[in-house]
Amino acid sequence: MKAIVDGKLYNTETAERIFSFRRKYKGAEISWMPGYSWVDWHDIDLYKTKKGAYFELDKKRESITPVAEEVVKNVLQKLDTDKFIEIFGEVIEA
């Protein structure tokens, strides 16, 4: 998939997929239970371009969104410590 965002091309075929995960979104409100909503899950792939930019591919929405390195770090810190260390290097032990 390809997308041009802010004048730059993001291409899943030429970028490296570095991580996949599922993200939870608040869905539509449940009509018979006011205050409660459905949960909608999206499969997300994180990519890194050859020039070092990061982006997300939301497979359900079929959309590409550029993300900052800090967002990638935050996701990997929470979901896969080993992948974080592989990409960003060793972290000082507490």
Whether the per-residue pLDDT at 65 is higher than 90: the answer is: yes
pLDDT digits (tens, 9 = 90+) for 8-49: 999 999 999 999 999 998 877 888 888 888 888 999 999 999
pLDDT of 56 above 90: yes
Q: What is the pLDDT of residues 67-94, one digit of tens each?
A: 999 999 999 999 999 999 999 999 999 9
Encoding tokens for residue 47? 């990519």
- Helical pair 69-79 and 81-88, crossing angle rounded to 10 deg: 140
Which phi and psi (to 5°) does residue 77 adopt?
-60, -40
Read off the pTM.
0.84
β-strands 8-11, 2-5: how paired? antiparallel
